[in-house]
Amino acid sequence: MPTRPYRTSTSTKRHSHHDAPDTAEAFRTLAALPPGPQHDTVRERIVEAWLPMADRLAGRFRNRGESTEDLRQVAALGLVKAVDRYDPERGNVFESYAVPTITGEIKRHFRDHMWTLHVPRRVQDLRNRVRVAGQELAQTVPGRRPTVAEIAAHAGLSEGEVRVGLEALESFSALSLDAVASGGSDGYSLSDVLGAADPALDEVVDREAVKPRLAALPQRDREILYLRFFGDMTQSRIAERFGISQMHVSRLISRSCRRIREQVLEGAA
């Protein structure tokens, strides 16, 4: 059975856009054909006829970090899905079904493949609304950036939601840790200016636990411990200072440390 011809030029019926071909007859033919070469040929011709519209939709998302060619490929994929899923018996024109399908495919591509950081869909939506509102307001308030309050009023959002969207504007991509820091003419990279965990933090709990036990020691014992562990004095020098033997100093240090350790362990039990 030969394939029935169809027109790909604009029909006398009014369409939303000039690149919306009249493929109603082709879709009816496609629906009636069983799987096979003839079905595939009609399907390919329909897709080819609607590719200009898919390219136009892809163009709406240019300058967002993705190449134009990749956007066109994603839009074409969305178009193929729309052709395969469209049911002409439902009475809706194909364009009204294809546009949201293609647009959704492009947005899904950005959400799943373009974000360096994982950002919830709600935050991504806020980012898009804030970005669009900022662009529109920039035409009415030249010479300055729109305020948070102005964007909120224009986009119908709260100021808190606008701040979340503004933060997300800076989260679409991430810099490499090897990238030169802003203003880093001396060659410092981001990794050079990142902080590190303070090793003394591990000792905070121990210090706080020991502090009251140290305060409860006799004054001479406290002074001996201080001179030995903080003054870096030898036991012989400490012994000379207090007029006692070095052996006595050693015993006092051992006794004080053992006493504090036992008290700390009892408190932790």
The answer to whether the 115-174 and 202-268 domains have the same CATH topology is: yes
Residue 49: pLDDT band by 50, 70, 90 thresholds?
very high
- Average pLDDT (188-200) is 74
Is 166 a residue whose pLDDT tops 50? yes
Any idea of the CA torsion for 126, 131, 134, 136, to the nearest 10 degrees?
-110
Exposure string of 44-68, with b = 16+ CB inside 10 Å and e = fewer, is ebbbebbbebbbebbeebeeeebee
- pLDDT score of 248: 94
Identify which of 24, 26, 21 has the alpha carbon closest to the alpha carbon of residue 11: 21
What's the pTM? 0.44
Query: Over the chain, what is the mean pLDDT?
Result: 81
Is 180 a residue whose pLDDT tops 90? no
Q: What residues does 180 pair with on adjacent strands?
A: 189
Specify the CATH class of 24-114 in words: mainly alpha
**What kind of fold does domain 202-268 have according to CATH?**
Arc Repressor Mutant, subunit A (1.10.10)
In order, the DSSP letters of 16-49 are: SSTT----HHHHHHHHHSPSSHHHHHHHHHHHHH
- Average pLDDT (57-70) is 82
- pLDDT score of 239: 93
pLDDT digit string (tens) for 64-91?
767 888 889 999 999 999 999 888 888 7
- pLDDT score of 107: 81
Task: Please tell me whether residue 231 adopts helix, strand or coil conformation.
Answer: coil
- pLDDT score of 264: 86
pLDDT digit string (tens) for 222-238?
999 999 988 989 999 99
pLDDT digit string (tens) for 6-39?
443 333 344 455 557 888 899 989 888 899 999 9
- pLDDT score of 104: 86
Identify which of 75, 77, 96 has the alpha carbon closest to the alpha carbon of residue 87: 96
- pLDDT score of 240: 93
What are the extents of the domains in the chain? Answer: 24-114, 115-174, 202-268
Contact 30, 43 (CB under 8 A): yes
Residue keyed to tokens 């390919």: 44
Look up the CATH number of domain 115-174: 1.10.10.10
Is 5 a residue whose pLDDT tops 70? no
Residue 256: pLDDT band by 50, 70, 90 thresholds?
very high
CA distance 150 to 224: 67
